[in-house]
Amino acid sequence: MSAQKNILLLGSGFVAEPCLEYLQRSGNNRVTVACRGIEKAQELASKYQNATAVSLDVENDAALEAAVAAHDLTISLIPYTQHARVIKAAIKAKKHVVTTSYISPAMQELDAAAKEAGIVCMNEIGLDPGIDHLYALKIINEVRDQGGKILSFESFCGGLPAPEASNNPLGYKFSWSARGVLLALRNNARYWQDGKLVEIQGKDLMDSARPIFIYPAFALVGYGNRDSSHYRERYNIPHAETCVRGSLRYQGFPEFAKTLVNMGFLDDTPREALSAANAADLPWNKVSQQLLGHSSDNSDELLKLIEAKIDTQDPEIRKRIIHGIKWLGITSPKVMASKRGTYLDVLCARLEDLMMYGEGERDMIILQHKFEVENKDGSHNTRTSVTLMYGEPNGFSAMAKTVGVPCAIATQLILDGKLTATGIVAPMTPDIYQPIMDLLPSEGINAVEETL
């Protein structure tokens, strides 16, 4: 029987439980769930026999170092800004670390020290990043090994409600805070398109959305996700004239989201009138009146002002957006706004009231890689790889599972001595990604490949 392994799991968010469930299966793992507030850690740990809960403040260096040193490996599912702190503690204790986050500059700076300590610091092993790397590199390396070239690479991924649960004007729902989703609408995008470097400002991001065909059943659109220009080098596809990674949403989302942006709802400046310290009731028509700088709080007048903020001239989409504004109730004198301090957070509260997943509703993740390939003999074809997964009603969401399970698989492989590359690493080479990919199908996670 294998020796017992002790794992420190930092964080108890929605991704943590699928990760913990997988790690419990071996019978040899003992997992300590650590959070600042012990109640959440206890709630998760109580479901599993070999799990215990502790309170831990990761900003307390001495406490963090002691906790990391007492375990064989630490999984960091806390905000990415804390990962470098965790890795420093792991280097000091010569213990392994796994995260699902992109490698930040602060993390990369610790590469030499991690190698010197002889530890594996595995990162980017969730869904996006994570599973996307595995299936992209599989095809890229197959083409290269056969003497071919990748001329174009497009990758789009989305976490969405399953079609039957996409029953609101945005076609979107939240498993947790809406704030991150809304703030992502401010991100710039940068990618290669037909040999030209394209740079899109955050204010124009929704205007850049275009239809993405995956299956006829889905009306999907996609737009660039931050800076993907460097993936030509990272994936070693120097001949790719197009190289873009992006996000997927259902049709209609970009136009509606852009209207909210045009209204000014991404403003996160604290406002006294929106403060919880303000004792007066705050009906939504008053919020929109202030935001739009209008003299009247009349709902019909506010709707006319909002209609002028709609960029698209498509009459059907314009009608859908106005219907959506009414559905949100943000011009109504009868709907009270939550006083969250900023226009952004007041809107987040309203979206969370109306657009959280309900009892028994499923989410969905969909990921498509699309490659234009020049083969060794000079012929051309298109190759696609599609991962589609649905959440379990009242069980694990597809998003939680596709982030938490790859993380757990990588953890187990490190503990078993099957992933040994030291330093700050990501699943970019076959010795790392192939063992992980081999275990995904048994968890219901796979990719369907097609050559067109």
Q: Is the peptide bond before 105 cis (omega within 30 degrees of 0)?
A: no
As given in the structure block, the two tokens for residue 174 are 């939240």
Phi, psi angles (nearest 5°) of residue 96: -75, 160
Q: Catalytic pick from 61, 111, 128, 300?
A: 128
What distance in Å separates the CA atoms of residue 401 and residue 427, rounded to the nearest whole number? 18
The closest alpha carbon to 336, from 267, 262, 274, belongs to: 274
3-class DSSP string for 69-111: HCCCEEEECCCHHHHHHHHHHHHHHCCEEEECCCCCHHHHCCH
| Cross-sheet strand order for the sheet of 96-99 | 51-55, 29-35, 5-10, 73-76, 96-99, 120-122, 423-425
Region label for 329, one of left (φ > 0), alpha (ψ between -120 and 50) or beta (otherwise): left
Question: Would residue 128 show up in a list of annotated catalytic residues for this protein?
Answer: yes
State the Cα angle at 19 between 133 and 411, rounded to 5°: 65
As given in the structure block, the two tokens for residue 9 are 């799991």
**Look-up of token digits 């970009």:** 254
CB neighbour class for 165 (10 Å; exposed up to 12, middle 13-18, buried from 19): buried
Q: Are 410 and 75 in contact (CB under 8 A)?
A: no
Count of residues making up the chain: 452
Q: How many H helices and E strands in the chain?
A: 16, 16
What distance in Å separates the CA atoms of residue 179 and residue 349, rounded to the nearest whole number? 9
Report the Cα 102 to chain-centroid distance in Å.
11
What distance in Å separates the CA atoms of residue 48 and residue 82, rounded to the nearest whole number? 27
The closest alpha carbon to 451, from 387, 388, 380, belongs to: 380
SS3 state of residue 279: coil
- Cβ-Cβ contacts under 8 Å for 186 (sequence gap 6 or more): 202, 203, 205, 266
Q: Which residues are catalytic?
A: 128
